[in-house]
Amino acid sequence: MNKYLWSFALSAVVLAGCGKKEEPAPAPAAAPVAAAPAAPVNTEEKVLNIYNWPDYIPEGMIAAFEKETGIKVNYDTFETNEALNAKLVAGNTGYDIVVPGTVFAKPQIEGGLLQPLDKSKIPNLANLDPAIMGTLTKADPENKHLVPWAWGFTTVGINKTKVEKALGKTPMPENAWDLVFKPEYTSKLRSCGIAYLDSPTEIMPVALHYIGKDAYSNNPADYAAANEMLAKVRKDVRLFSSTMIDDIAGGKACVAIAWSGDVNIAAGRAKENKSKDEIVALLPSTGALIFFDTMAIAKGAKHPNNAHAFIDFYLRPENAALMSNEMSYPTGNKAATDKIKPEIASNKTIFVESAYFAKMIPPSSFTNEAREAMANAYNKFKQGK
Ligand code: SPD
């Protein structure tokens, strides 16, 4: 029933009640009247501690929340899922809201490191896209702990101008992953700078995907195979970066394994700096790796009510839309769709077309054994052993 029919039906019930003639009820004998239940009062100190990725929140959002609620937000950042995970495992993080990727959130939920949400305090959950919430059930089976912050994909970002110059007569490869994994290309691009994200769980899955293995393999032997491929290009990699936006926009790297939104942010910064170079996030022909980053409340959080208030604030359509409009990442908030600027909505490296989406590799998670094999393989590669 649409909202007009609902309101029509409700009015009919009320009107019918009004028309009924009844004898006035006798006044009740003086009896104790139970007080109407008072709205729950938030007695928490007015503080909220958030731990999120860098360059991942629209400017002014924290200030707007503080102004509206009087809650003071302490906002810290981490650069890798591994760093956040180490804090959560150690315990007593002091953080209320954390933003893990689903690959890590699954074991964090299983290990009791994240607490279930009180959905009655988050009415704006209704704004979320059921399709995205369905996807999150892989990590959070009943959607009890995680709320989407943003999603995107790990891909190849390039300074097209510099890459074309460094490649000379060699044409761009059909599969963009060749630019960072194939010696024929990396040997030419090393002069303008190749950068990799600095984390085993960012690099090893894309390396596995490139050599035709399951990106989320739990077979330690696959990591040895990925290492064999990576060893051939190690000498050409200039940077293991935690500051990818600056490194691409500032010219330290002309090609990078990076996150889609960050490459788009770098493109915007380069333009602001009046650079003539064109920076683009590529869509590799074999697919890129999707990620979902999620808000969750850490076990032992001291300010859970404030955390719920912030989650609900973020889920307002106008706030979620800012995340796409300003940070170039989709949010999973369906009610925000009509608030996305046309130039963002039509950018196919932010909102990919369904044909490409179908090619992308969805996130999964790893066993502890695979995580160890992956970390060993990555460290060996990084150290050039
Ligand atoms: N600017 C920071 C964007 C954070 C992206 N998180 C990506 C996690 C991928 N596994």
Say yes or no to pLDDT of 4 above 90.
no
Top pLDDT among 125 and 34 is at 125
Of 259, 323, 324, 331, the one to substitute when testing ligand 1's pocket (max ligand atoms within 8 A of C-beta) is: 259
| Mean pLDDT across the chain | 91
Ligand 1 binding residues, C-beta < 6 A = 53-56, 101, 154, 202, 259, 262, 291, 293
pLDDT tens digit sequence for 130-181:
999 999 999 999 999 999 999 999 999 999 999 999 999 999 999 999 999 9
Taking the model in full, what pTM does it have? 0.89
- For residue 178, what pLDDT is reported? 98
Beta bridge partners of 256: 157, 195
Q: Which residue has the tokens 């369905």?
A: 134
Rounded to the nearest angstrom, the distance between the alpha carbon of 259 and the centre of ligand 1 is 6
Rounded to the nearest angstrom, the distance between the alpha carbon of 27 and the centre of ligand 1 is 65
Kindly give, in sequence order, each residue whose CB lies less than 8 Å from that of residue 121, ignoring residues fewer than 6 positions away.
Answer: 305, 308, 309, 312
Q: For residue 36, what pLDDT band results from cuts at 50, 70 and 90?
A: low
Query: Six-digit token pair at 12?
Result: 């009919």
- For residue 43, what pLDDT is reported? 84
pLDDT tens digit sequence for 206-252:
999 999 999 999 999 999 999 999 999 999 999 999 999 999 999 99
- For residue 385, what pLDDT is reported? 79
- Residue type for 215, please? A
Beta bridge partners of 152: 291
- For residue 42, what pLDDT is reported? 77
Percent of the chain with pLDDT over 70: 90
Say yes or no to pLDDT of 9 above 50.
no
Query: Six-digit token pair at 97?
Result: 């809201």
Q: Which atom of ligand 1 is nearest to the CA of 244?
A: 1
Top pLDDT among 42 and 161 is at 161
Percent of the chain with pLDDT over 90: 88
Rounded to the nearest angstrom, the distance between the alpha carbon of 150 and the centre of ligand 1 is 9
Angle at alpha carbon of residue 102, lines to 100 and 103, rounded to 5°: 105
Say yes or no to pLDDT of 17 above 50.
no
Rounded to the nearest angstrom, the distance between the alpha carbon of 157 and the centre of ligand 1 is 14
Of 56, 149, 246, the one to substitute when testing ligand 1's pocket (max ligand atoms within 8 A of C-beta) is: 56
Rounded to the nearest angstrom, the distance between the alpha carbon of 49 and the centre of ligand 1 is 19
- For residue 179, what pLDDT is reported? 98
Domains of the chain with bracketed CATH:
47-151+292-353 (3.40.190.10), 153-289+366-383 (3.40.190.10)
Rounded to the nearest 10 degrees, the angle between the axes of helix 61-69 and helix 304-314 is 120
Say yes or no to pLDDT of 319 above 60.
yes
- For residue 7, what pLDDT is reported? 27
- For residue 37, what pLDDT is reported? 62
Say yes or no to pLDDT of 297 above 50.
yes
